[in-house]
Amino acid sequence: MKTWLITGCSTGIGRGIARAVLKSGDQAIVTARNIARIEDFAVDYPDMCLALSLDLTDTMSMERAVASAIERFGRIDVLVNNAGYGYRAAIEESEDQEIDRLFATNVFGPTRLMKLCLPQMRKNRSGIIINVSSIGAVRAAVGNGFYSASKAALELVSDALGKEVAHLGIHVITVEP
Q: Tell me the per-residue pLDDT of 79-128, one tens digit each, with 9 for 90 and over.
A: 999 999 999 999 999 999 999 999 999 999 999 999 999 999 999 999 99
> Annotated catalytic, 68?
no
Does residue 147 carry a catalytic annotation? yes
pLDDT digits (tens, 9 = 90+) for 53-76: 999 999 999 999 999 999 999 999
pLDDT at 167: 98
Catalytic residue among 61, 147, 150, 158: 147
pLDDT mean over 141-170: 97
Residue 155: CB partners within 8 Å, gap ≥ 6? Answer: 131, 133, 137, 174, 176
Backbone angles phi, psi at 40, to 5 degrees: -60, -30
- Of 61, 134, 151, 158, the active-site residue reads 151
Contact assessment for residue 117 and residue 66, using Cβ atoms and an 8 Å cutoff: yes
How far apart (Å, rounded) are the C-alpha atoms in residues 122 and 117? 9
* Mean pLDDT of all residues belonging to the chain: 97
Which pLDDT band, with edges at 50, 70 and 90, does 145 fall under?
A: very high
Classify strands 127-132 and 27-32 as parallel, antiparallel or unpaired: unpaired
Q: How many whole angstroms separate alpha carbon 15 and alpha carbon 65?
A: 17
- Per-residue DSSP letter, 142: T
Across 140-163, average pLDDT: 97
Nearest-angstrom CA–CA distance, 136 and 1: 34
Number of H helices, E strands in the chain: 6, 6
| pLDDT band (50, 70, 90) for residue 161 | very high
Report strand pairing: 127-132 vs 170-175. Answer: parallel
Catalytic residue among 61, 87, 133, 134: 133
pLDDT above 70: percentage of residues in the chain = 100
Closest CA to 31 of 16, 2, 51: 51
State how far the Cα of 95 lies from the Cα of 175, in Å rounded to an integer. 28
d(CA 142, CA 170): 36
151: annotated active-site residue: yes
